[in-house]
Amino acid sequence: MDTHYRRDIEGLRALAVLSVIAYHAFPAIAPGGFVGVDVFFVISGFLITGIIARERDAAAFSWGRFYLRRARRILPALVAVTLTIAALAACIELPLQLRTTGGVLGVSGLFAANIGFTQTPGYFDPVPQQSPFLHLWSLGVEEQFYLLWPALIALLWLKPLKRARPWLALILAALSLAFAESQLAAGAISQAFFSLAPRAWEFLAGALLVFGVPAPNTSRAPARNSQALGARLKKAWLIAPAASWLSAKARDRAAKIMASQDLARFKGLSQSRAISAGHSR
């Protein structure tokens, strides 16, 4: 599939970002707006896989150039945002809260804010919600994926694995989603929400759009094009049930996270009331 600049994808990105903003600004109106982050991860997986695949096919991929592009895209905005927040926090936060903010700032510089937030009760809990760097958790997940995925793609570009690319990506996505389900079943809500491993399937879903539906080669003869199209359609029909299963599991996973976070909120509220009652006595 074509992964060059596309206005439709930019539009989807904008809708994903706006849905997250709407969730935070008007949670009663857009209670599921946080799913925009999941959409953004799928788009990122599609775009980055397409870029690397295109450069690999042209024998033009460069590790240095790849990460330099990422640095030029991310670092200026990241530095500006973190310095601004740090300056404001130093002026308005209390010492204990400022110490916590400083700790998050330190790990954010290493693109590891999400790892730090796994030690909190969860994204929807009041404690992380008070952190001015909470929004950097998704950047941490994204950059960690970009650190590992190019190396895995290098392996997938070995000739013996050429035909197996879609299936290997699908297997990795299924393993990631299964791990996320196991984390939720074990009550590790924060790990399932913030960590890379349970989130990797979303990036891989985007990668499957690149590997699973390749663009037709117009340089071939019409008969050969027809045969290739038939083979691709067959592959698409084989992948469709798995993609449908992934979509259904994604909806179930979102429902479980919300239910678990609601339970955690209720428990936290109950504990707060008990403490308040104890103090009043």
Q: How confident is the model at residue 116, as a pLDDT? A: 79
Q: How confident is the model at residue 192, as a pLDDT? A: 87
Does residue 258 lie within any of the structural domains? Answer: yes
If DSSP states are collapsed to H, E and C, what string results for 45-74? Answer: HHHHHHHHHHHHHCCCCCHHHHHHHHHHHH
Rounded to whole angstroms, the Cα distance separating 201 from 67 reads 22
**For residue 219, what are the domain limits?**
7-280
Does residue 165 lie within any of the structural domains? Answer: yes
Does residue 223 lie within any of the structural domains? Answer: yes
Residue 112 in contact with residue 140, Cβ under 8 Å?
A: yes
Does residue 13 lie within any of the structural domains? Answer: yes
Q: How confident is the model at residue 237, as a pLDDT? A: 43
Q: How confident is the model at residue 129, as a pLDDT? A: 59
Rounded to whole angstroms, the Cα distance separating 268 from 126 reads 9
Does residue 1 lie within any of the structural domains? Answer: no
Does residue 122 lie within any of the structural domains? Answer: yes
Question: How far apart, in Å, are the Cα atoms of 2 and each of 170, 213, 214, 215?
Answer: 20, 10, 9, 7
Q: What is the pLDDT along the chain (281 residues), one digit of tens a residue?
A: 444 667 888 888 889 889 888 887 888 888 888 888 999 999 999 999 999 999 998 989 999 999 999 999 999 999 998 999 889 988 988 888 888 788 888 888 888 888 877 776 555 554 555 677 888 888 999 999 999 999 999 998 888 888 888 899 999 999 999 999 999 898 888 888 889 999 999 999 999 988 875 445 555 544 444 454 444 444 444 444 444 444 445 445 555 555 555 444 434 434 444 434 444 44
What is the CB neighbour count within 10 angstroms for residue 2?
Answer: 10
Rounded to whole angstroms, the Cα distance separating 241 from 237 reads 7
Does residue 152 lie within any of the structural domains? Answer: yes
User: What percent of the chain clears pLDDT 90, i.e. is strictly above it?
Assistant: 28
Tally the domains of the chain.
1
Q: How confident is the model at residue 121, as a pLDDT? A: 59
Rounded to whole angstroms, the Cα distance separating 168 from 279 reads 57
Does residue 2 lie within any of the structural domains? Answer: no
Q: How confident is the model at residue 245, as a pLDDT? A: 47
Rounded to whole angstroms, the Cα distance separating 107 from 176 reads 24
Alpha helices in the chain (DSSP H): 7-25, 35-57, 63-92, 95-108, 113-117, 126-129, 137-156, 165-185, 189-194, 196-212, 222-280
Rounded to whole angstroms, the Cα distance separating 190 from 176 reads 16
